Structure 1
Amino acid sequence: MTARTERTARALIDRCGETYAAQAGIRLRDTPAPLYQTLVLAHLLSARIKADVSVGAARALFDAGLRTPRAMAEATWQQRVDALGVGHYRRYDERTATQLGDGARMLLERYGGDLRRIRDEAPERLREYPGIGPTGVDIFLREVQAVWPEYAPYIDERAKEGASRLGLPRSPRGLTGLVRDRDVPRLTAGLVRVSLDRKLAADVTELARA
């Protein structure tokens, strides 16, 4: 650990350390509704669409009242398509609307709509949800590590790419030693953002030097 790496980590959190869940308006707690909302967000973020569009689509779904598996399952396919359209999530809207409905029904039937029931086996069980592959699992666990601490620190390959871009250590121990435990999800979100945006990485580096 050096003064430079600590300054860089702090600059990263200050500049772009908002978690994606917070950006989507999710008040993350270890309760069924926010956990489900985070899974929906992970589903949208794992597609090849800009992250801001995916976050906007998640907010549009939640604004339309589709915040729980029950509400998502009871909505019509067209209502889900329309909400995704409001969020400008149009490239995969029809397929995603189908997957969201199928996934909500599956969660209700198998787990009573409560993701806490798969907490111990989350990396495997999350793959049962339509549209969630390895990337979606990574996104979900990055976001929920604050309330499922047994998965913390969750530093996936995407976050490690961001660390390399900023000259920070890539190991979970090396990275988490730079910040307080409660800031690890924000650090991870910032690392993901700079891995996707070279200009943002340059901004963080400049801020750390100021």
Structure 2
Amino acid sequence: MTGELDDRARQVLVSRLLDRHGRSYAEEIGLDLTNETAWFGWLCAALLMSARISAEVATRAAQALIEAGLDTPGAMARSSWSARVALLDRAGYVRYDERTARMLGEMARRVLDLYGGTLGFLRETARHDPAEERRLLLEFKGIGPVGADIFLREMQLAWPEIYPFADARARKAAARLGLPDKVGDLAGLVPRAEFPRLLAALVRVDLAHETERLRLDLDS
């Protein structure tokens, strides 16, 4: 299963990816990233999703945070560590519950102390420079390169200076499917507004180990 597809096959495959798997993770969690108030919740989700735990459990835990009202830095900082641990446990996020609960609280306090309670000010501090935005994200305890990639992958419509951005996992999945793995070429397959959804679809297919089946379906 090597080599890139021709233009027609690409169009068919991309259409199938979007139709079957093209729901962004932010959408699944219930976050509208065009609204600045959702950005902190998405940063929390990126932290949860970057751990060695299933995406299903991580998204369920992120949803639980939102349902509990812990979707703002202020609410998260005011919550107790034990309450956050219990919430994560109920969502099935048990392997990293205590450590993650601590990091969520620390992250909220950092947003409050350094950025006035909004990630919009982090962006302004970085002067809309993608490299600097990434550097500042990496200063949050619990947000490593994978977490930063997850955050930026879906934030690129709200932060247009990031576009086009594709993380290594999405690009590797694209290559396995015969799609271009160069970011610009991959972004050129869909309208700008659809690119984060395409990346989410590629990640979902990769996590489900469905790349080979999709390619075989296309060849049949």
Class of the TM-score when normalised by the shorter of the 2 chains: over 0.9
C-alpha deviation, 1:194, in angstroms: 2.0
The answer (yes or no) to whether the contact 1:162–1:193 under 8 Å persists in 2 is no
2:197 pairs, out of 169, 186, 200, with 186
Structure 1 portions without partners, runs of 5+: none
Instruction: Find the counterpart in structure 2 of residue 50 from structure 1.
Output: 54
**Superposed counterparts of 1:13-24, under 5 Å:** 13-24=18-29
C-alpha deviation, 1:195, in angstroms: 2.3
Instruction: Find the counterpart in structure 2 of residue 136 from structure 1.
Output: 147
> 1:146-175, CA deviations, whole angstroms, 9 ceiling, x for partnerless residues?
111110111111111110121111011221
In 2, Cα distance between equivalents of 1:132 and 1:166: 29
Instruction: Find the counterpart in structure 1 of residue 3 from structure 2.
Output: none
Runs of at least 4 residues of structure 1 off by over 4 A? Answer: 206-210
**Superposed counterparts of 1:1-210, under 5 Å:** 2-31=7-36, 33-119=37-123, 120=128, 121-198=132-209, 200-205=210-215, 208=218
Cα 1:86–1:141 shift into 2, 3 Å:
same
Q: TM-score, normalised by structure 2?
A: 0.90
Counterpart AA for 1:14: D
Counterpart AA for 1:192: V
Secondary structure of 2:181's counterpart equals coil
Secondary structure of 1:131's counterpart equals coil
C-alpha deviation, 1:197, in angstroms: 2.4
C-alpha deviation, 1:78, in angstroms: 1.1
> 1:7-63, CA deviations, whole angstroms, 9 ceiling, x for partnerless residues?
1111111111111111111122241x2000110000001000001100000001111
C-alpha deviation, 1:204, in angstroms: 3.5
**Could you say what the CA RMSD is over the residues aligned between the two structures, in angstroms?**
1.5
The answer (yes or no) to whether the contact 1:46–1:139 under 8 Å persists in 2 is yes
Identity of aligned residues (%): 44
Counterpart AA for 2:15: R
The answer (yes or no) to whether the contact 1:17–1:189 under 8 Å persists in 2 is yes
Structure 2 portions without partners, runs of 5+: 1-5
C-alpha deviation, 1:176, in angstroms: 1.5
In 1, Cα distance between equivalents of 2:141 and 2:84: 15
In 2, Cα distance between equivalents of 1:68 and 1:196: 29
> 1:134-154, CA deviations, whole angstroms, 9 ceiling, x for partnerless residues?
111100000111111110111
The answer (yes or no) to whether the contact 1:30–1:116 under 8 Å persists in 2 is no
Aligned length: 208
